[in-house]
């Protein structure tokens, strides 16, 4: 049996797929998410899983949960900072400031909470692997990406800076930046409008959550001397839109 993998946002999408793949590979799982019934279902299917029903935005809940982990789940080898979301795709002037705040609180502050809570365990063990789920939206701009893209750009730069801070600890850090992938992401973004969400993926052989889980495992299986700084993964049918020039 390997050590423990702590996965945030484990109730759907990337988080669920990563939990399942790492469990299959022999890791114990700590699954954090807001929807307790989904966590219980996941734990029942996987076994050897400790669930934390909490919102990643709740700083006290995150730190308390890590502090009070059962003894047999304290050997955290892997942290997957997956919890995140996009809300809306309006232009900045038309978008909701509350949506902006939710994205900042989840995608930035939540990632900081889980990282700060787990780092003392990893540094004491002098080993570990941190995966931060970014996005191509944090590397490249697109209309309506505004604050979501900004939060994911933070994930990218924080991952680089975290690597510098962890030099000499044996802890590896990788940002994974997926492109178009069909999960609950677009449904959340468009306020539960399934038709609007489905339209995003029409005619596209998109990335799957299982593809991202495989990338995580591939990175883990690299020799310890190798740190993969960033993996930017797009669907084969997706590429950059190119620079836009407004013509009068």
* Confidence check: pLDDT of 1 > 70: no
pLDDT at 187: 73
Which among 142, 148, 160, 201 is annotated as catalytic? 148
pLDDT band, residue 138 (cuts 50/70/90):
very high
- Tens digits of residue pLDDT in 174-208: 999 999 988 777 677 767 778 877 887 888 899 99
Q: Which residues have CB under 8 Å from 125's CB, separation 6+?
A: 75, 77
* Residue 28 vs residue 199, higher pLDDT: 28
* Residue 240 vs residue 170, higher pLDDT: 170
Question: Is residue 160 annotated as a catalytic residue, yes or no?
Answer: no
Mean pLDDT of 116-139: 97
Radius of gyration of the chain (CA): 18
* Confidence check: pLDDT of 32 > 70: yes
Q: Give 34: exposed, middle or buried? Use CB within 10 Å, 0-12, 13-18, 19+.
A: middle
| Distance (Å, whole) CA 97 – CA 34 | 23
Kind and range of the H or E element at 64?
A: helix 59-67
Arithmetic mean of pLDDT over the chain: 94
| Distance (Å, whole) CA 160 – CA 153 | 11
* Residue 49 vs residue 195, higher pLDDT: 49
Alpha helices, DSSP H, located in 104-203: 111-125, 146-165, 185-189, 194-201
| Distance (Å, whole) CA 200 – CA 55 | 27
pLDDT at 186: 65
> Mapping DSSP to helix (H, G, I), strand (E, B) and coil, where does residue 79 land?
strand
In this structure, how many other beta carbons lie within 10 angstroms of the beta carbon of residue 222?
Answer: 13
pTM higher than 0.85 for the full model?
yes
| Distance (Å, whole) CA 152 – CA 179 | 12
| Distance (Å, whole) CA 108 – CA 185 | 17
pLDDT at 240: 87
At CB < 8 A and 24+ separation, what contacts does 44-48 make?
A: 45/20, 46/19, 46/20, 47/23, 48/1, 48/23
Q: Distance between terminal CA atoms of the chain?
A: 64
> Mapping DSSP to helix (H, G, I), strand (E, B) and coil, where does residue 139 land?
coil
Mean pLDDT of 216-240: 96
| Distance (Å, whole) CA 54 – CA 71 | 20
| Distance (Å, whole) CA 96 – CA 94 | 7
- Tens digits of residue pLDDT in 66-103: 999 999 999 999 999 999 999 999 999 999 999 999 99
Q: 108: which DSSP letter? A: I
| Distance (Å, whole) CA 115 – CA 205 | 33
pLDDT at 62: 98
CA angle 26, 29, 31 (to 5 degrees): 155
């Amino acid at each position: 049996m390997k050590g423990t993998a702590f996965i945030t946002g484990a109730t759907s999408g990337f988080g669920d797929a990563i939990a399942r793949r790492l469990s299959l590979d022999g890791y114990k799982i700590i699954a954090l998410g807001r929807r307790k019934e989904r966590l219980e279902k996941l734990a029942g299917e996987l076994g050897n899983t400790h669930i934390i029903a909490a919102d990643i935005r709740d700083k006290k809940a995150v730190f308390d949960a890590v502090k009070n982990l059962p003894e047999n789940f304290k050997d955290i080898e892997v942290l997957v900072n997956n919890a995140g979301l996009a809300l809306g795709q309006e232009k900045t002037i038309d978008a909701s400031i509350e949506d902006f705040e939710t994205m900042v609180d989840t995608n930035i502050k939540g990632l900081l909470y889980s990282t700060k809570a787990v780092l003392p365990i990893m540094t004491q063990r002098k080993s570990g692997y941190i995966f931060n789920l970014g996005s191509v939206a944090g590397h490249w701009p697109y209309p309506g990406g505004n604050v979501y893209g900004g939060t994911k750009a933070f994930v990218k730069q924080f991952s680089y800076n975290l690597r510098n801070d962890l030099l000499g600890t044996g802890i590896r850090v990788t940002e994974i930046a997926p492109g178009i992938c069909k999960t609950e992401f677009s449904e959340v973004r468009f306020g539960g409008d399934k038709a609007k969400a489905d339209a995003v993926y029409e005619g596209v052989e998109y990335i799957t959550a299982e593809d991202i889980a495989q990338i995580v495992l591939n990175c883990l299986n690299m020799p310890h001397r190798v740190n993969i700084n960033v993996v930017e993964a797009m669907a084969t049918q997706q590429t950059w839109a190119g620079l836009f020039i407004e013509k009068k």
